[in-house]
Structure 1
């Protein structure tokens, strides 16, 4: 793999030497310790309808996608990446979070596709995920799990549960039962409207040219205590290598081949909300004229198969936040945190299997 040109590196003003790189690797190891996320739950309930529990969601994923020990229960198929984020300092106007101070932060991440079957063939329409974990010298962390959709299909844990169940393939066709999906959409007009928006923005060729969005709203807090609603996105700075149709891992293989030729980059764009914008419903888009802030550049330099010690074992809990970023009251945030933790605990207690996508086996 080609390496980026050598230059003087810094981690928020600290020279990036071999010693500090090793320290950064140790910091990445800290991601593996915080498996239960930012919220300590006093009980097992999540929310919605019939009082769903974390176990209900784990059972749901297994019922829909099968039981695959050692893998994530959703977004099971993926590859690990590492790199760094160069902040330009402009995000400091909105948040006092250390990630926005000018300088460089090491990043560990994972590209994935939606679904709980790690052996499923890649499809162009599957939701593409990017999880990122930032570790800072003060011991704080920032984790974010994003997808390439313009809006999220659901605005409640119950809605997500019901949609996933309605999407279960029927053995005779391998496709969801049309009657079940029709009944679901009739009961969830918010999802029907969100899917209409999603259809207007078809997916790009691959991972490298996908925009990855937070979709949920967070509040950024500056030094004066001002809280501003923000949604963020990582916007690609390159085209994607076209996938080879017919390859079962066509999207991943195209990404691997492209990263074998050099690093990939995304701009972190902060979209600033107003008091009139929805902050608890990710099925609703914000108007396109909202102010944006370019906060810096993400550069991904290495890619490898899911394996012990890399992002395979990171829980990309969206509520692991540094000071200066706070969650909104969107009910999906606490639900995601709880279910991610349950998935982490389940897979780390199960026998581990080799990754489906073997990076070293992909050739140009």
Structure 2
């Protein structure tokens, strides 16, 4: 009987290994599919960052988008009002340190400030419990497109003509005509002139997120920071000055800290959480969660924001991402860009001291 059992056991072994091998192959295939290896036309983070790099030019050691910027520091003073909607300790009454970065879009770190209406503000909140909240905001109230695929198509349409160094107007026009969801952004862009100061702009999360309260209930939310400083039209930069935004910020901070109010807008049932091109109605309830205070600035090449990847999906307990497809795409593209620029820095002049400053690889 034992002999027949041994024969049966040996007979089963090839099948067992075949099942294990099949499982391994399926897992590998899944990774290959996600990575785009089995489908050259599948959109991947690498292709998105390649397109950004092609449009902005290769500038080793710099971000592939929002390459031109300045580091800032300060804190967030929570008034405790938002604590009822989220258990994140950043919303409990008190102060949370912040490392941030003002920037303009594009991959060229030498671009003129007047070349675009868009300004950005990225923040990293370092919570007392060791967790972090990172957010990357822009000064327009809606995003251009709703999906990563449309964003990639826009990058392709905006590829500079080698002869002129500028995008082809007809090609961009065709893209916008094929994407009616861009209408809200275009309306904003046509009405807004490039601002003269980072300090007088509001900055929007664009994507939706969830706040999670003590009972586990989710609250769909978008946020923005609104400045106390106002643009009265008297601050007119020199047209020949390509770097007036950083200089204006230096002057303002020399006179005192700059402040913004963090406003959380709560969605109503039916408000889209998966489409950053659609604004929520203006009558939605808004909570003033506290005050963002920026009190210092440093050049980005050696400042504290240099090594921060402002991935908007890095959230503390009490906050979650929504079903917006742009969020995972942004996270993956930010990581690809981060790995490129940090690996390049090791080959740049002065790289010997850079390693000592690289305290964060997230």
- 1:57 is aligned, of 48, 64, 78, to 48
Instruction: List alignment gaps of at least 5 residues for structure 1.
Output: 1-40, 355-364
Do structure 1's residue 184 and structure 2's residue 175 form an aligned pair? yes
Q: After TM superposition, where is structure 1 displaced by more than 4 Å over at least 4 residues in a row? A: 200-203
1:175 deviates by 3.0
* Matches of 1:94 and 1:281, distance apart in 2: 22
- Counterparts in 2 of 1:87-236, with a 5 A limit? 87-123=78-114, 125-236=116-227
CA distance in 2, matches of 1:201, 1:100: 32
1:307 aligns with 2:298: no
DSSP-derived class of the 1:320 partner = coil
Kindly indicate whether the alpha-carbon contact (under 8 Å) linking 2:117 and 2:192 is maintained by their aligned counterparts in 1.
Answer: no
Q: Greater RCO between the two (CA within 8 Å, min separation 6)? A: 1
Question: Are the counterparts in 2 of residues 265 and 299 from structure 1 also a CA contact under 8 Å?
Answer: yes
Instruction: Give distance in 1, aligned partners of 2:225 and 2:164.
Output: 37
Cα pair 1:87 1:102 within 8 Å, conserved: yes
CA distance in 2, matches of 1:286, 1:198: 19
**Is residue 2:316 matched to residue 1:322?**
yes
Q: Which residue of structure 2 aligns with residue 36 of structure 1?
A: none
How many equivalent residue pairs? 313
Aligned-CA RMSD value: 2.2
- CA 1:114/1:49 → structure 2, altered by over 3 Å: closer, same or farther? farther
Query: Alignment partner for residue 331 of structure 2, among 318, 327, 337?
Result: 337
Counterpart position of 1:77: 68
The answer to whether the 8 Å contact 1:129/1:212 transfers is yes
- Look up the match of 2:237: 243
Q: Which protein has the larger Cα radius of gyration, Structure 1 or Structure 2?
A: 2
TM-score by length of 1: 0.81
- Provide the C-alpha distance between the structure 1 equivalents of 2:62 and 2:152, rounded to a whole number of angstroms: 20
Counterpart among 340, 347, 357 of residue 346 in structure 1: 340
Give the TM-score, by structure 2 length: 0.82
